[in-house]
Structures are given as C-alpha cells and as structure tokens.
Structure 1
C-alpha cells in the first residue's frame, strides 16, 4: 500500500481517546505488511514492535488517538484533510516509514516502534509502554511541528477543577445572594487577567475548557463547576503556582468551594547538545532545509517519558501545529515525505555517532 493511501485509511478510522481498537488493528496489520518484527497490540491497545539488538537503542512513538469530533476526509492535490491529519496520524506514519527505511538501509541498533493510545486523554498508552520497555538511549515522539523544526521543549500542565456552592434564590432577586456561577466567573476573570493573554514560552498560560451550572431558567444555581487548563514553564515551581492560585481562590470564592488537580504533567526541555538533536539538525540540513529548535506551549507524552527515563528526547513531525484540535486539520503530503526522509537520515546519522563513540 502506498503511504498516502495508508494515510487516507488512518484518517478514515475515527479514533478518539478510548476508541482505538480499530485503528490499532489497522496499524498492526500495516506494520506487519512492511516487515516489522512481530507487531503486537497490548492490553491498552498500543501497537508495539521491537526490531534489532544493538546500539543505539531508540524508542519511536506516535499516538493513534485523536481528540473527539469527526471531520470529512478528503484529498485536494497535495493536501489531505481529516481528523488526525495534523495531530498526529501523519507524524505516526512518518515515524513508522522512517524507521522502516532506516532498518532497510542497515541501521544496526535497536528500534522500538510504537503507536500509543490515550495521548489526548489520560496517557494510559505511554505509561504502559514505559512500565514494560526500558533501557533505551534516545526517544523520538511524533507530533506536528513542520519538517524543518525540532520540538525541544514543552510546558507543564495542571488541569484544575473548581466547584462552588451557594444558596438558591429566585432569578428576579439576583441581587439578594451570592450566585455560584457569578463567583466562578469572577475567579476565572481574575486568572485570565494574570495568565490568559500570555504567549511567551517562559510564561504561565490559562484557558477555561469546561463550565457547568444551573438547572432551571428562573432560579439561581446552588452549584457550578469549571475546568481550567494551566500551562507553565520549567522555571516555575508547580507547588508555588498552585499556592498562588489557592490564595486567589480564597480571596474571591471565600467559602463553600473546593478544587482538585485532575491531571498534571511536568515540563520538559531537551538536551540540545545531545547526539539526538545534532543528528536531526544534520538530517534536516541534508534535505535542503534550515533546522530550527522550537518550544511549544502545550505538553505531550515526551514530558512523561523524558522526566521518567532521563534520556535525550525530541518531538518531530509534519504539519502546522496551530491546526491541532481544530476543524481544519490538513497535511501537505510533501511536508509528510520530507519528514520521512529526515527521520530515516537522522537514525543513520545517530547510528554513526554511536559507532564513532564506541571506537573513540
């Protein structure tokens, strides 16, 4: 099957987090067709294949799940549209094909190639892989960034749920009592004034993602809740940030409120002097592009593995990251093929670095 046909197949399978069964079977069968060693689906619906036995040992991981929301799949010349076209089925496929070419061209190390589940939700896939496979020298994650860009850092994340309870009263007398929705809105507006407009990688950002409250149109609510997604750089202490937010919460919500950190991810910054980063820079230059290191305000599975395994990790893949999670996910097939070339070449260069290091 041609790579662009496989990309269309992947896009046609709707695979939001928690529904990866069909796409995992498709990926396993394709990897088997390509000749990877014993690709298997584990208990968390990850697809995993271990190939070779030597140095360097490299873990390559893309994610097979997407955010919810079906998008029409179509092709318009070099442009391929559909949910996951950007985030991140094209990057996953580029990793698979780049690894295959490297193995065919004599890569003598060890490659663990995986398609992980749950990246867009609870990271169940990468957590299971980290428990069952260890001892790798480097890791490469597949996420959009563009064929010339190496993602060398992600912010940390705190997902905060805040609840507020108040007495109910008639809507015509809204002035009489505190309103749960009003209180949460006041708190959010205070956070937004501090963090909501920040764009710099070294700043704290915040976005409200869910809000719920009220049951009747003529009675103020007794309960309201909201989720706030907070991203923070490595220079900021998570404990200090939470303490500051708690202080604001106490000043504004006063009483009868509660909060819980529903999810947390530590920030991660790559070692930009590592052989992994150097090999990608060389491979990008070899393919007539100018390499750039970029740092993203989001977070990903790279954060989890990089902080636990303590090895050099980067993220790489085709596509415009600004289109992730949008209604206009589209990938240019030329960008995709450039990424395949870069991945294959970078693995060859990384292998040569290891040979030279062992001979020194």
Structure 2
C-alpha cells in the first residue's frame, strides 16, 4: 500500500487516533440484533460531542446529522452483530472483534468521515449518518424505519467492500420452511417416511437452482442451501422439517421464486411450505455522481477502484425501492471474514477508507 499522508485529509476535529478509538470502543460493546441500546447510546454520544445533531430514534437507531445544504446524503450502516464472542484486541495494527468488519468498521468510517468534513461541505449538503438496528435479523427494523422518514439524494450503505471496492448490488432472498407430516409406519413396510419426502423436496429445489445457473455467473443464478433439518417421531406421527435458503438474482423476484417452489412440490403428499425473507435483488448503475466521486478519491489515495456485486443481502435491498437514487455500499474490511471466528480489520485500511470517504463527500458537496 503506498505511503499516502492520510492525516492530511482529516480535520482537526477528528484525528486518526480518535477514529481508531471510536471503532475500538464500538466493537468492544456487545450489540446482538435486538440488543443495540448500549452501543446506540455510545455512538450517538460520540456524534453529539463532535457537532452532530444526534439522537436515538424510536427504532433504536443512532442518528447523527451535520450540515444544512440542499443536498441530502444518507449514510446507512448497522451496529448490530451476529452471535459469537471474539476477544477484542489490537495486534500488529489489526483490530480483532465481533462486528469489526460486519459492519461497525463501515459505520465508524461514516461517522469519522462526516465528523472530518470542512465547513464548505456542510454549507452545501446535509449528511445523515444512521447506525441501524437489526440488519442481521430478518426484520431489518432500523432501515425499514428510517426509509420512511428520509428522502435522500445520495445513499451510502455501510458494508465491507475493501477500501478500493464499490459494491453496486446484492442478491435477493427467500426462505422456505418445508414441513412433512404423516402417520408412523414400520420401516420394513412399503412407503416413504416424512424425512424421505422432505429429502425429495430438497432435491427438487436444488435441481431447479442448478438449472438457473446454466450459461451465467453466480450472481445471475439461484443459490440454494439447507439452513436446518429436523425429524421427530413420537410413535404415532412422523414430522420432518427443513429450512431452505434461496439467494435470488435480479431476474427472479421473490414472488416468482415462491410460486416456482410451490409448483415443484405440489404433488408431494402432506407437504406444507411457508415463506419468509422476501427481499428483491438490487443492482445500481456504475456511473453516477457518487461512484465518480469515490473513484477519484480512491485513486488519490493510490488505489484502483473495483466494482463488485455480492451474493448476500444488505439494507441496500430494503431501501432501494423507496430510495431510487445513486447508491453504493462502501466500507473497509474483507467480507470473507463476516460472521467468522477470525473477524478482524486492518486499522491502516480503516484509516484509508476514512480518508477516501471524507474526500469523496467533500467533492460531492462541492459539485452540488
């Protein structure tokens, strides 16, 4: 990584050491989905101390605003994490801890960058940072709340892309809960068990997903995984249940996938299917005022901008319908470390992401 003076792009308000300490403290506060109160209070307090108009809203989001110009930039990150305790520590310039990558690193990048903006940018635009609740839960409570109260002109989603990466889209999602119930019988007799029929249901769904991949890449195909399986037999009734997770490409909306699954399984006796997690895929254009500003800022830091699409989902999927504006997901860190026992973030990369975003936001404001 080239030796670029990152400090020069930060204001006196927020130094590199302050930005790093913000991240360390945020990661040190446990914040499972639905249990974000302590970290929300910390983050909103940090923003209030640095000139943000900050509060915790009715959905539990930590919200901070700076600037008063006509352009509104929403910076939507999330402060909740998946389970799994990782001792918080810094070793050789690397911060280890749950949420360091997914996605407190991105959210703290947003906060530090907006805190460092010059007065000229604040006169031209309003920057709204949101630390959302329950992104890691099916509810996406925080994003669903704020999407109805803001009408932004530009949106950044806080997710790890690597400091040189710009994520343009995410696949959609559908979760199918399949249950087979039938009377018990002796295994030496003829017939299929409830588990047999559940297995057949999975084979059919998996085969359909494989067919969608013909002639295309992984982003354009359905990905199917078994999330859990369970079978019980009380001597009278057999019950087998399975949860099938489907990652959907932009060309297959959740309702179409739901109809397809029901058709695939319609002739299996005593099968019931319920669906959750209806989220449509989203893919934003690569050339707009936001991507141009970020590309210039990345190059100024010695990097090469890289466009990405992700096979997971994020709050980008949630807000896209109501916020049809230039949108990118951005943040430091390697997304391959999300949810793993080795989750960690290189603090030098975090510094560089703060510098990139500060410069890009300043450029956006000056162009408005």
TM-score higher than 0.5? yes
What does 1:248-263 correspond to in 2, within 5 Å?
A: 248-251=264-267, 254-263=268-277
Say if 2:236 is the partner of 1:214. no
| Residues 189, 5 of structure 1: alpha-carbon distance in 2 compared, 3 angstrom cutoff | same
Cα distance, 1:14 vs structure 2: 1.5
Q: CA deviation at 1:204?
A: 1.1
> Out of 58, 63, 66, which is 1:43 matched to?
58
CA 10–176 in structure 1, closer or farther in 2 if over 3 Å, else same:
farther
1:33 lines up with 2:49 in the alignment: yes
- The correspondence of residues 146-185 of structure 1 with structure 2, limited to 5 A, is 146-169=162-185, 173=187, 175-185=189-199
**Is contact 1:154-1:295 (8 Å) kept?**
yes
Matched, 1:124 2:137: no
Q: Name the residue aligned to 1:189.
A: 203
Contact 1:59 / 1:111 at 8 angstroms: preserved in 2? yes
| Contact 1:86 1:323 survives alignment (8 Å) | yes
RMSD between aligned residues: 2.0
**TM-aligned CA distance change 1:3 to 1:255, over 3 Å:** same
Offset, 1:144 = 0.5
1:200 equivalent to 2:215? Answer: no
Residue 114 in 1 paired to residue 130 in 2?
A: yes
Deviations 1:333-353 (A, max 9, x none): 111111101111111111122
In structure 2, stretches of 5+ residues that fail to align are: 1-16
Match of 2:351 in 1: 337
Residue in structure 2 matched with residue 357 of structure 1 by the alignment: none
Match of 2:159 in 1: 143
Q: Is the 8 A contact 1:74 1:80 kept in 2?
A: yes
Deviation at 1:297, TM superposition (A): 0.7
Residue 339 of structure 2 aligns with which residue?
Answer: 325
Question: 316, 320, 345: which is aligned to 1:306?
Answer: 320
Q: How many residues align?
A: 346
Structure 2 counterpart of 1:264, from 278, 284, 290: 278
Counterparts of 1:279 and 1:303, CA distance in 2? 23
Shift of 1:212: 2.5
Hey, what's the Cα distance between the residues in 1 that align with 2:44 and 2:293? 28
User: Are 1:5 and 2:21 an aligned pair?
Assistant: yes
TM-score, with structure 1 as normaliser: 0.90
Q: CA deviation at 1:233?
A: 1.4
1:194 Cα deviation (Å)? 4.1
Distance 1:174 1:320, change over 3 A: farther
Pick which of 325-334 and 190-199 moved more. 190-199
Query: 2 CA distance for matches of 1:20 and 1:118?
Result: 8
1:90-109 superposed matches below 5 A:
90-103=105-118, 106-107=121-122, 108-109=124-125
Q: How far did residue 243 of structure 1 move?
A: 2.4
Cα pair 1:163 1:226 within 8 Å, conserved: yes
Q: Return the alpha-carbon distance in structure 1 between the equivalents of residues 24 and 45 of structure 2.
A: 15
Classify the secondary structure of the residue corresponding to 1:59.
strand
Q: Which shows bigger deviation, 302-311 or 90-99?
A: 302-311
- Mapped to 1, the partners of 2:196 and 2:84 lie a distance apart of 30
**Mean CA deviation greater in 156-165 or 88-97:** 156-165
Matches of 1:221 and 1:295, distance apart in 2: 45
Unaligned stretches of 5+ residues in structure 1: 355-360
